[in-house]
A and B are shown apart, each in its own frame.
Chain A
């Protein structure tokens, strides 16, 4: 390049830099959010005779799911719709959906799993405002269901006092997750009943390590291979026994606090630290940050305790794919038994539970031009929330054709095992093609179009007596501890701090447990957690907690379920 060209380039760059520096930085302004919604809802007319088309991105489903299922066609017929379902598996949802939205392909109806995603959608202008009054006007029963089974969900869809989506609930009348023990091992080491308290658990794990439970003459077994893959699984059963949810907001004396900072958390860490020092925990778990092997270690007979397992079918020995079945394949004498939530020496049984508040349906912002579509969807969801027939059709298909109620677990002539409860009927039950059949004929999973599970309302009669008593024995709802805000990422700054803080906490706790740090560092952890944005989260959480009742009043949550 010639000298003149060079000088010209340098001047150009300098000018651009100057201009940019002069523009006042306003990193937090979100212009479009300040404007009121352009939709005048009082004038929106939805003509039921007009066929409306909807691109529908529902809950995460299997990649084998296919459009044109019976459930889809049924809804299209009843509500005069043309639905174009957009199925996404876990990977597509987390990786491709953001890119799709960035590219401007915004579906009419959009499902999000967590409040964080909803806020990102709001900030980028992907979704439209949906005032509470509109939902109440067109879907009062739907609102009632949310209010009854998971009112926290209302927090998931709101941002700065305005509502942007339709919350959903999953209410299955079950409590905390269940653990699994190797009963044959317990007997081999002289314990006749499943451990119920933390102390009994300690004793059992200790004997598993040192008294050769598998009788092979080698000290090659451990008590427990903890799952540290996800925070919601990490030593949860033990923390819960002492009444803490270490990775969630909890209420203490009318204030919200972070579970991980409480003295009880420190107490549990101390216990775990002792257990690790005694050699009860398989040290490999530390390296298994994805939680890949906990089940494999249990099945292969390296450890004798596993958490969690959340359905009675986990223990159906006759099913080769259940935990029991898989363990039996390795060890024909094995006996895998369920165990209810633990309790501390003096306390009651307690276990962590997600609660009823679930996910968020949203409407693409382009529907501001076609608000009748929103009304149609609300009416559809309202009708399904009112009618058991519609509800069952939307979730499972037609009784007698797609599904049947089996009071007990049965083996059908086609070789498939149908568990007690709602099960498939031939030809959909064909075990070689179960998933393909389901996804092609009925649509999978059942929450795709109607996003709620309302077991007590509509499915109670299809829960077999055995399953019901199993739940009340091992996973009673009364034992659950649920965070008052539901998911912790409802607080506005969670995107900025929460993920990092959870990671920081996870690593810190593991380091304390395996003795890389002294227990005294816990106080330092508390201070550091607050410094790294935790204080902001706590302040916001308490603000939300204060607003909670205001929101509940607006949607009419009854006092009893607050």
Chain B
């Protein structure tokens, strides 16, 4: 019986040798580059001393996590990450929807296309470049402050005032991603059955009502999917952007988990860095899995990323 099972497994493998010869290297690759580092996370539970090695360093259980949460700066980093992420999500999530709706109303296709082209543009540049540009634009002698002075106002410390810095962070974040984010909604909009609109016109609905009752509801599945996906990034709060814009003076509000991990790593406190990174990963995972579960339950199994 067992031998028969083995044989059938063997013949099956032989039959699929083409597919297997493709997937096995891929799986090896994944084991090496993604799953091996995960085992390295054990140093989060160790007092990692380089000269003792990853697997032989002394176990300290949850000691590193205790240290993390009893310190001043890690709870602060969590708080900052949450604040930035929540603001980003609440202010930034609807910007692409609004942009898509606005673009959808434009009837001159050439105009629409050029607007789209310009609004996607920022998406294609790294935050190194954009950060460099915004440091100039919002800096002391930059054009924004020049404009404020021209209008008779006092210069604003956009980059070194806690509150203004967050404002700059969120708005430049929206600036960079709204145009690109709108594409997917535009795609969803183009997929709406035109019959629905015709029926609505016959019922006497004006464009505003059409938007409210036909357009928006048809965008909701896309929005839910994107929302769940963005939750996965919830505890990253846009490292690239923050790292390239922040400075010492706004550390209190801008030091996020990722910058904390990097700082600990550069300070050679590897166990603490790994523990912080692990905390971030696990919470992110839990967020995505639960929200997907909730979305599925609410929609009766239709919506959800997987």
Minimum Cβ distance to chain B for residue A383 (Å): 31
Instruction: Tell me whether B160 and A31 are in contact (CB under 8 A).
Output: no
In the complex, which residues of chain B have a beta carbon less than 8 angstroms from the beta carbon of A293?
A: 140-141
Instruction: Tell me whether B61 and A125 are in contact (CB under 8 A).
Output: no
Instruction: Tell me whether B51 and A287 are in contact (CB under 8 A).
Output: no
Check: B238 CB closer than 8 A to any chain A CB: no
Instruction: Tell me whether A289 and B62 are in contact (CB under 8 A).
Output: no
Check: B50 CB closer than 8 A to any chain A CB: yes
Interface residues of B (CB under 8 A from A): 45, 47-52, 58-64, 66-67, 71-73, 139-141, 154-155, 157-160, 247-249, 251-252, 265-270
Residue-wise interface mask of A (156-183) relative to B, using a CB-CB cutoff of 8 A (1 in contact, 0 not): 0000000000000000000000000000
Residue-wise interface mask of A (21-45) relative to B, using a CB-CB cutoff of 8 A (1 in contact, 0 not): 1111111011110000000000000
Contact of B159 among A104, A123, A287 (CB under 8 A): A287
Check: A78 CB closer than 8 A to any chain B CB: no
Check: A539 CB closer than 8 A to any chain B CB: no
CA distance A96 to B117 in the complex (A): 39
Q: Can you list 14 A-B pairs, Cβ within 8 angstroms, ordered by A?
A: A20-B45, A27-B67, A31-B52, A31-B58, A104-B50, A120-B267, A123-B49, A124-B268, A125-B49, A287-B155, A287-B157, A289-B160, A500-B251, A506-B248
CA distance A470 to B234 in the complex (A): 59
Contact of B160 among A98, A121, A287 (CB under 8 A): A287
Instruction: Tell me whether B155 and A283 are in contact (CB under 8 A).
Output: yes
CA distance A495 to B266 in the complex (A): 12
Minimum Cβ distance to chain B for residue A8 (Å): 17
Instruction: Tell me whether B62 and A25 are in contact (CB under 8 A).
Output: yes
Query: Within A6-63, which residues are at the interface with B (CB < 8 Å)?
Result: 20-27, 29-32
In the complex, which residues of chain A have a beta carbon less than 8 angstroms from the beta carbon of B67?
A: 27
Check: A82 CB closer than 8 A to any chain B CB: no
In the complex, which residues of chain A have a beta carbon less than 8 angstroms from the beta carbon of B248?
A: 289, 503, 506
CA distance A27 to B73 in the complex (A): 17
Contact of A289 among B45, B154, B249, B252 (CB under 8 A): B249
CA distance A30 to B57 in the complex (A): 10
Contact of B49 among A31, A104, A283, A533 (CB under 8 A): A31
In the complex, which residues of chain A have a beta carbon less than 8 angstroms from the beta carbon of B139?
A: 287-288
Contact of A123 among B249, B251, B252, B268 (CB under 8 A): B268
How many residues on the A side are at the interface (Cβ–Cβ under 8 A)? 47
Instruction: Tell me whether B249 and A507 are in contact (CB under 8 A).
Output: yes
Contact of B66 among A27, A99, A283, A506 (CB under 8 A): A27
Minimum Cβ distance to chain B for residue A228 (Å): 8
Q: Which of B51, B139, B252 has the largest number of chain A CB atoms within 10 A? A: B51
Check: A359 CB closer than 8 A to any chain B CB: no
In the complex, which residues of chain A have a beta carbon less than 8 angstroms from the beta carbon of B51?
A: 32, 124-126, 365
Instruction: Tell me whether B266 and A496 are in contact (CB under 8 A).
Output: no
Check: A538 CB closer than 8 A to any chain B CB: no
Instruction: Tell me whether A23 and B61 are in contact (CB under 8 A).
Output: yes
- Given known A-B contacts A125-B50, A289-B248, A22 and B141 have beta carbons under 8 A apart: no
CA distance A506 to B247 in the complex (A): 13
A-B contact count (CB 8 A): 119
In the complex, which residues of chain B have a beta carbon less than 8 angstroms from the beta carbon of A497?
A: 72
Q: Is the interface of A mostly helix, strand, loop or mixed?
A: helix
Query: Within A464-507, which residues are at the interface with B (CB < 8 Å)?
Result: 495-497, 500, 503-504, 506-507
In the complex, which residues of chain A have a beta carbon less than 8 angstroms from the beta carbon of B73?
A: 500
In the complex, which residues of chain B have a beta carbon less than 8 angstroms from the beta carbon of A329?
A: none
Given contacts A21-B62, A95-B266, A126-B50, 15 further A-B contacts (CB under 8 A): A20-B61, A24-B61, A101-B50, A101-B268, A102-B268, A120-B267, A123-B268, A124-B49, A124-B51, A126-B51, A284-B141, A287-B140, A287-B159, A496-B71, A506-B248
Interface residues of A (CB under 8 A from B): 20-27, 29-32, 94-95, 98-99, 101-102, 104, 116, 120-121, 123-126, 283-290, 293, 365, 495-497, 500, 503-504, 506-507, 510, 532-533
- Given known A-B contacts A21-B62, A23-B60, A124 and B160 have beta carbons under 8 A apart: no
CA distance A504 to B73 in the complex (A): 12
In the complex, which residues of chain A have a beta carbon less than 8 angstroms from the beta carbon of B266?
A: 94-95, 98
Closest to B141 in A: A284
Instruction: Tell me whether B66 and A98 are in contact (CB under 8 A).
Output: no
Instruction: Tell me whether A25 and B60 are in contact (CB under 8 A).
Output: yes
Minimum Cβ distance to chain B for residue A139 (Å): 26
In the complex, which residues of chain B have a beta carbon less than 8 angstroms from the beta carbon of A120?
A: 267-269
CA distance A46 to B266 in the complex (A): 36
Instruction: Tell me whether A288 and B64 are in contact (CB under 8 A).
Output: no
In the complex, which residues of chain A have a beta carbon less than 8 angstroms from the beta carbon of B159?
A: 287, 289
In the complex, which residues of chain A have a beta carbon less than 8 angstroms from the beta carbon of B64?
A: 27
Contact of B140 among A21, A126, A288 (CB under 8 A): A288
Instruction: Tell me whether B155 and A26 are in contact (CB under 8 A).
Output: no
Instruction: Tell me whether A30 and B49 are in contact (CB under 8 A).
Output: yes
Instruction: Tell me whether B269 and A23 are in contact (CB under 8 A).
Output: no
Instruction: Tell me whether B50 and A102 are in contact (CB under 8 A).
Output: yes
Instruction: Tell me whether A289 and B247 are in contact (CB under 8 A).
Output: yes
CA distance A104 to B265 in the complex (A): 14
Instruction: Tell me whether B247 and A21 are in contact (CB under 8 A).
Output: no
Contact of B52 among A21, A27, A32, A98 (CB under 8 A): A32
Contact of A21 among B47, B50, B61, B265 (CB under 8 A): B61
Instruction: Tell me whether A495 and B50 are in contact (CB under 8 A).
Output: no
Closest to A292 in B: B139
